[in-house]
Structure 1
Amino acid sequence: MTMNFRSVALLISLATAVAVPGTAAAQPAAPQQAAGSADAAKRAEALVQKAGRLYSDGKYQEAEALLLPAWELNPTFDVAYNLGNTEYQLKKYREAAQYLSFALRHWPLLKGVAKLKPNAEKWLAESRAQVGAVGVTVSMAGAEVLVDGKVTGRAPLEGEVFVEPGEHRVEARLSGYETASQTVRVGKGGTAKVELAMTLAKSEANEATPVANVAEGASAPGAGAGGGPAAELAPGAPVEPASPPQPRSWVPVIALGAASVVGLGVGIGMTVASRNARSDADAQRAAILSRGPGCVNAPSDVASACDAFKDTAGSAEAFGTGALVAYVASGALAAGAVTYALWPRSATTGSSVGIRPIVSLATSETMVGVVGVW
């Protein structure tokens, strides 16, 4: 189950001597001081070497006592690997899982340490089966995350927070925001997800949207015209509250849009009918011209053909006019739908859109009108 700690420490310390970038991590939290300096790395390496000799002698607690300050000095994957191994031997599975998961997240792509990775994965799996895990998501980056009152890092956390099986309280704190918290229960080998949504503190919200408060019956200085006292309301006079903006109804848009599509379809149908009638009229005209001078002073045998030609030509013109009217109506309806959808709404005015037929007595024409109020 165990392995030669000294060889592990030597191999890893030679493979990497730089610190992991300072991202927000779950337990174990990265030390506050600047990590990775040459002096800190040397002191951490010396502590690791001493811990290796104690580990080889089975003195795991003494090795742990040296590795913890080594982690504070130089929080790199190699220190986390050795510390996780030691915690595993001490059966401190929660701490072992936390350090080993950190080491695996930052494992370097070096051949010299590749053979050690399966050991870390095995120890993590065995430790993970004995504890629970909490995945924490916070709406505000930089918020301090606490589990059972102990700081685990700042949002966003890099990995899961490992906890003992049972009930735990997760909190997020950030200056200017209300503390967000949630209590979860985690079983052995289980995982719980926690999402904390933070809101502005009341004092911050009041500063963001100041409201002038005047005591009832008192006048605010300088509120009247010319800096005089504010005018008083008559006793018992009701104050009309400002009406909130009415929600926009999309029924008119749908109705206008549907009517526009129908109008477009009618226009297309009439255009096709007009073209067919015009084609028939052209054929009839050609047949008439082939039989004589035309419809002017036409003989009786040609007169009926001329009447049919006039009817067909009239139908073609009527269909063409109807198509034009349908296209114009379709465009007006579409414009009404777009205008209604984009027009800014008033807080006190509702909206109304209607389609009304307009009959002109002077010209005997029927038109379609779009009437709207926004």
Structure 2
Amino acid sequence: MKLDRAELGRGALDPAELAGELGLCELELREYRDAAEHLTWSLAQDRALPRELRGRFQIGQAKAVFYVVELLLSVDPPDAEVLIDGKPIGRTARAYKLFLEPGRHMVRARAPGREDAFHVFHAERGDKQEIMMQLPRAAVVSAMEPPATSKPASAQPAARAKDPGPWASWPGTLRIAGIAVATAGVSVGAILMIRAGKLDDELAARRDRLLGQSPSSSSMCWQAPRNAPCAELARLQDARNLSGRAGLATIITGGVVGAVTAASFVTDLSFLGSSPARGRIHVSPVATGEEIGARLEGLW
């Protein structure tokens, strides 16, 4: 379209028509971003455009928008200055409709008494981006407010280290093993002693029956040969004696191990790398014909 300077001077062309015609020219020059902005602004002036021009401008605007990025931007507060890629857009509003070249862009908004807001995005041609930017109020420190004074930290007494438990470090493993051995020894010894008692009762019963059937003396069974009727009594006697002795030895061993294990809880083990105990004791095993055990002497 050829523009006559005289017509422009007389105001024959409306600004909306002028912007639209300029947009169509930019579209022919492949300046799509400028064309999209001018055609969009022209179409926004609804009452100023005839129907024929509006149709032409709508077709041109659709072609231009296809090659650019459409940005719908809302800013709070509305008087904030907006910069696109470091360049101010030159006006303020609450909402903007902008057209940008495809690629990466950075949007920045700033206002007095507010913190700056930033938004970075990447878009291809034909894309539409919607961004909402709200600028928070900047923190204000009053000059009259006295500086906060830190209270001197009161000296806290050092926490007393807890004494290591009786199961700490490797002595605890030995204590556990000692308890297990002592328990097993006493249990097995008790079983053997019970078996020896039962064998003794059986031996006495058979001897009484044998003596009741024969007028012989009570010592004949102990000197009898292997094939004699009372050879079974000799076998029972040997089994009783063996069980009794084994049971007694096992109980004594378990008692000694148990006594030593018990003593380790209160005995100074510093020579083994463990922390010393408060007191010392003396342990001595005791075994008599009537009782078996250990005697502990000391102060703790």
TM-score (norm 2): 0.45
Task: Pick the structure with greater CA Rg.
Answer: 2
TM-score (norm 1): 0.37
